[in-house]
Chains A and B, each alone.
Chain A
Amino acid sequence: MGKFVIRRLAQAVMVVIAATILLFIGLFVLGDPFASSGDKVVPPETQAILREKFGMDQSLPMQYLTYLGNLVTGDLGIDLNQRRPVADMIGAALPNTARLALIAIIIDVIIGVVAGIIAAVWRYSFWDVLVTIITTLAIGVPTFVIGVWLRQTVSGVWIFPQVPRSFTELAPWYTEVLLPAVTLAIVDAAFIARLMRGSMLEVLRMDYIRTARAKGLGERTVIMKHAFRNSIIPVVTYVGISIGILLGGAIITETLFQYNGVGYLLYRSILQNNNPVIMAIVTFAVLIYVLLSMIVDILYAYLDPRIRLS
């Protein structure tokens, strides 16, 4: 087991390093962040000063090593645009996004699991078809369309705060987070519903369910006690790993609803070629993915000896 964990850890480190190198090269290809300011050219002398200030006069490998070194010590650098510590910028945005993601997960798990169970238990019924159509639609409609529509029709109504509103008019955080969270949750809820349906159907075919039914247990008990517990596992796995997606998914919704999070920060940084911020956020996302999938793999290996021996 220890060997397996070490091997898996080494793989994770390799993946992170390779991904950051790719990213670094990619950002380099993206172009020079100092070439222009507005519609005007930045004079070459000024560009030189800026490059020196941000260490971009070094060779690419040197820049990368510096970046890695700083990363290890927790220094994420200074952003190229406003010249604030990148750690501060992310620190200010992260709690908002975390809150948004959490609420979205709660919403999508509840909707998704319930819809999935209904669809599976009453297979091919009207409700199953309805769930199938709605989930397919939800996956098919681009999120920004949902967001724009929600914003146009629902914001400013009932408890939902107006968008936009003056920054001095503070709205309770839960009212502020609700609409973007719903927008963010819709697609995931559809995924979870499908996943739940498939997994539930799978479980319902198992022998022990047949046994339970044969024992004369009520259908309700069979579904909720036996089938549910086992069929929820893939959903839990998915939710764990979808946290990374949610962080990214926040880009649309945060922007639409004037919500200050990491997604919005990342999007703006891409527009501005603000490399240190892009590097930091993407590295963060890569780390989350690699960590979570490593944990899942180790867990599976722990549960199933065949994996760690193969």
Chain B
Amino acid sequence: MRKQAWLRAAAGLTAAALVLTACSQKSNEGSGDSDGGDSAPSAGWPETPDVEIKDGKPGGTFRFGITEPTAIDPYNGQESEGLLVTKQLFTGLVQADPDGNIEPGVADKWEANDDCSQWTFDLKTGTKFHNGEEVNSESFKRGWERVSAKASASEVAYHLTGIEGFDEMQAGTANALSGVDASDPAKLVVKLTDPNCEWYVRTVHPVFSPVPSTAGAPATNTAYVEAPIGNGPFMMDGPWQHDVGIKLKRFEDYSIGHKAYLDSVEITITANGSQDEYAGYQNGTFDWARMPTPVLEQARATYEPQNQWITRNTNGMNYLLVMGTQKPLDDVKARKALSMAIDRDAIINGVFKGSMTPATAFVPPVFPDAFQEGLCEACTFNLDEAKKLAKEAGLAEGTELNFQFNVDAGHEEWTAAIKDQLETNLGLKVNLSGVQFPDLLNNEQQPGASGIYRAAWGADYPTPSNFLQPLLSTEAIGAGPSEPTTGDNRGRYSNEKFDQLLKDGFATKDEAERIKKFQEAEKIAIGDDQALIPLWYRTQHRLANTEKFINLRMDFSENPDLYEISIK
């Protein structure tokens, strides 16, 4: 009995790593939750300067670790690890640079019609798949249909929602996307059921990749799923060795930009994620590594002077999900009191050793045009005001507050600190409980759910609206008041003005005007209504072997930008 109990114990070591990586792009775990930035001076480490990208020379093998992904085929690639590989194998219509700016990919040019219900992409001609097949508009249509087909049962197909004909594909009543026109090989025309003036940004997601005619259906052509043939700067060098590793080599006929410099990339699949990666970096196995939170301070002291340290604000936010339609937080004053009673600086310095930056807005500073510093006034620790608001809201001493988080993902400590602060500062009785992630989600979805829940968000597409629409719009509740929520707005926040501003934003062609609308919307939901309680921004830290390589930087998905990396 004892022995097997220990099994569980040791297995727990990896739990963190596994959960971490399973959602590292979508949540905030990748390298141990390090969030911070350069905007607030109170805590947090500054971003390291951008590297200047120089011309490289061919050669070299770049090595690093990931955990076992779900899929590397674009039809079902979902977590950061899988998408990392998919992005090397495939180049989509457009691409995001490390700052999230949209750059051409296979498409040279893109434009929408007047009401943004139809998008036209002009494609480069003569670009090739790894097997020599030419990439044209049909390749994209084929790829998108492969994703949306019911038989593929893709878990990421929802990114294609809004394309005409998608619903029929999902229902299994059609076998072609009626809204995608590929009659001209050099032109891809997409009709949307939901007009959206920033829709093109979505296509940076690898789920929109083109596939060659040999790809077939995922269920039958498993050889393709294990070793996808794409059109990206790198190609598979042998199939994916499950739980062991993935080897990539340079695609010599890449013509969308310059060819990749590296001869090959060796991606080792580790069991313990960032812990193994850090150890591997120390023993010379890896050229790039994420780190678990506890070692950050020590690693920074060692590697920053050697110029092997990267810190970047990335596309994500850590916050508390607030059940604002249920007692005791159905009063905005109660929500603000809670937010003001949290001393973010103390937690960041105490638990995170200063490696994060307290949040004062919800859309993070990684979107400089949309970022509104100080928007969340209640995000500043203010004990007197917190007590006053709590009193006004009837948040009396001894009030019970439910607080849940998911275990084994590195949240045990800071959640305990928040519980302690809320109990000490407001006299609440906080019932903190750690549950498995699926249970957390299920609990949040229930109609009677109350209190606060640990949450994090990373945008799927580099646009500020992706922080607002899915989390706070009425539409994203997806259920009536007595049903479990089905969307990501599990706090059931609903404000007509907010919804309207978002809608107006999506219908505005001018980017600056559009962002203004989104900013106004954020002001209402976070500044006025405190629908969620922002905690700290997402900041990521990496080790990078600058002794052997140049052009080492983090891409928008927090992965090494393999395309530019070159030996010295």
Q: Which residue of A lies closest to B488 (CB)?
A: A41
A167:B244 contact, CB within 8 angstroms? yes
Asked if A122 CB lies within 8 Å of chain B CBs, one says no
Asked if B79 CB lies within 8 Å of chain A CBs, one says yes
B488:A258 contact, CB within 8 angstroms? no
**What 1/0 mask marks residues of chain A from 241 to 272 whose CB sits below 8 Å from any chain B CB?**
00001001101111110101001110110011
B158:A263 contact, CB within 8 angstroms? no
Chain B residues 400-446 with CB under 8 Å of chain A are 436-439, 441-442, 445
Asked if A133 CB lies within 8 Å of chain B CBs, one says no
**Contacts of A42 on B, CB cut-off 8 Å?**
155, 158
Chain B residues 202-258 with CB under 8 Å of chain A are 218-219, 222, 225, 241-245, 247
Q: Separation in Å of the B265 CB from the closest CB of chain A?
A: 11
Q: Separation in Å of the A106 CB from the closest CB of chain B?
A: 18
**Contacts of A264 on B, CB cut-off 8 Å?**
243, 271
Given A255-B11, A258-B271: A249 touches B438 (CB 8 Å cut-off): no
B23:A39 contact, CB within 8 angstroms? yes
Asked if A218 CB lies within 8 Å of chain B CBs, one says no
Asked if B541 CB lies within 8 Å of chain A CBs, one says no
A143:B11 contact, CB within 8 angstroms? no
B438:A36 contact, CB within 8 angstroms? yes
Q: Separation in Å of the B50 CB from the closest CB of chain A?
A: 28
Q: Give the interface segment out of A4-12, A45-53, A110-118, A193-201.
A: A45-53
B442:A256 contact, CB within 8 angstroms? no
Asked if B315 CB lies within 8 Å of chain A CBs, one says no
**Contacts of B68 on A, CB cut-off 8 Å?**
268
Q: Which residue of A lies closest to B241 (CB)?
A: A167
Complex-state Cα separation, A61 to B485, whole angstroms = 28
Asked if A234 CB lies within 8 Å of chain B CBs, one says no
A38:B266 contact, CB within 8 angstroms? no
Complex-state Cα separation, A168 to B70, whole angstroms = 21
Q: Give the interface segment out of B189-197, B275-283, B552-560.
A: B275-283
A167:B269 contact, CB within 8 angstroms? yes
Q: Give the interface segment out of A67-75, A158-166, A275-283.
A: A158-166
B26:A39 contact, CB within 8 angstroms? yes
A252:B158 contact, CB within 8 angstroms? no
B285:A162 contact, CB within 8 angstroms? yes
Asked if A37 CB lies within 8 Å of chain B CBs, one says yes
B22:A252 contact, CB within 8 angstroms? no
Q: Which residue of B lies closest to A31 (CB)?
A: B438
Complex-state Cα separation, A49 to B356, whole angstroms = 40
Choose among A37, A144, A162 the residue that contacts B6 (Cβ–Cβ < 8 A).
A144
Complex-state Cα separation, A34 to B26, whole angstroms = 16
A143:B3 contact, CB within 8 angstroms? yes
**What 1/0 mask marks residues of chain A from 178 to 192 whose CB sits below 8 Å from any chain B CB?**
000000000110000
Complex-state Cα separation, A193 to B441, whole angstroms = 48
B270:A268 contact, CB within 8 angstroms? no
Q: Separation in Å of the A12 CB from the closest CB of chain B?
A: 22
B9:A144 contact, CB within 8 angstroms? yes
**Contacts of A271 on B, CB cut-off 8 Å?**
15, 18-19, 22
Q: Separation in Å of the A241 CB from the closest CB of chain B?
A: 13
**Contacts of B436 on A, CB cut-off 8 Å?**
31
**What 1/0 mask marks residues of chain B from 8 to 28 whose CB sits below 8 Å from any chain A CB?**
111111110011001111111
A35:B6 contact, CB within 8 angstroms? no
Asked if A231 CB lies within 8 Å of chain B CBs, one says no
Asked if A43 CB lies within 8 Å of chain B CBs, one says yes
Given A44-B478, A187-B3: A163 touches B18 (CB 8 Å cut-off): no
Asked if A156 CB lies within 8 Å of chain B CBs, one says yes
**Contacts of A268 on B, CB cut-off 8 Å?**
14, 18, 68
B244:A143 contact, CB within 8 angstroms? no
B10:A144 contact, CB within 8 angstroms? yes
5 extra A-B contacts, CB within 8 A, seeds A46-B154, A142-B10, A162-B283:
A33-B438, A38-B25, A38-B27, A40-B26, A144-B6
Interface residues of A (CB under 8 A from B): 31-46, 49-50, 52-53, 81-84, 89, 92-93, 139, 142-144, 147-148, 156, 162-169, 187-188, 245, 248-249, 251-256, 258, 260, 263-265, 267-268, 271-273
Residue pairs across A and B with Cβ atoms less than 8 A apart, 10 shown, are A36-B438, A38-B27, A46-B158, A49-B153, A144-B12, A166-B63, A167-B268, A168-B247, A258-B270, A267-B11
Q: Kindly list the 9 A-B residue pairs having the minimum CB-CB distance in the complex, ordered from nearest.
A: A252-B10, A144-B10, A167-B245, A38-B26, A38-B23, A39-B27, A53-B153, A143-B6, A251-B7
